[in-house]
Amino acid sequence: MDEFQPKIIVFACNWCSYAGADLAGVSRIQYPPTTRVIRVMCSGRVSPLFILEALGAGADGVLVTGCHPGDCHYLSGNEKAVRNVELARSLMALLGIDPGRLRLEWISAAEGARFAQVVTEFTAQIKQAGANPLPLKPGSDKNLPENGWDGLSRPSGQAGEPAPQVFG
C-alpha cells in the first residue's frame, strides 16, 4: 500500500504568505505535495467555519497563513485571524478533533524557505497523527476514535446539493 499522503488545506493571504509560497517555487525549494492552497485576500477572511468545513470534508490538516504581526496589508487582519483560529480550535476541542490538525503561521513574502519548512514539518506531524477519519460515511463507524467525532457528522444533504449555507 502507498504511504499515507495527507491532504492539507492551506489558506494563504494574498499579500504575504501566497507570495512566500510563490517564492519557494521561484527558489525551487522542494516540499511534500500535500498542500491545496486557497488564496484569500487576508488571513482575517478565514472564517472558523471554513476550517471546520475543511476538517469535516476530510482534510488531514488545515494551515492558516498570514503576514507577520504588524505587517498586515489590512492593518490588523492577522490579529483577527488569531481570534478566528482560536475560536475554531475551541470548537474542534468540543467536537473531539485533535487541535494539532490546525496550525496558524506567519509567513512573509520574503520567506519562501520558511513556507517550505512549515509545510514539511506540518506534513510530518500529520503523518504521525494519521489520516483524518472524516468525512464519516455510512458504515464507517469503525473508524471512529474512542471519544471523538460524535458531534460532527456530514450534513444530511444528498450528494449534488449545493454546499450548506454557512455564515462567514
Lay out the site mask for another protein across 78-107 (x = CB under 8 A, - = otherwise).
--x---x-----------------------
Binding mask 37-76 for another protein (x = CB under 8 A): xxxxxx-xxxxxxx--xx--xxx----------xxxxxxx
110 is a site residue for another protein (CB under 8 A): yes
- Under the binding rule (CB under 8 A), the answer on residue 165 touching another protein is yes
CA gap 117, 125 in Å, rounded: 12
Strand partners of residue 9:
36, 62
Is residue 36 a contact point for another protein (CB under 8 A)? yes
Type and span of the H or E element at 35? strand 35-40
Shortest Å, Cβ 6 to another protein: 12
Min separation Cβ 141 and another protein, Å? 18
User: Is residue 26 part of the contact set for another protein (CB under 8 A)?
Assistant: yes
Identified binder of another protein from the candidate list 31, 106, 122, 149, rule CB under 8 A: 31
When the beta carbons of 138 and 147 are compared against another protein, the nearer one is 138
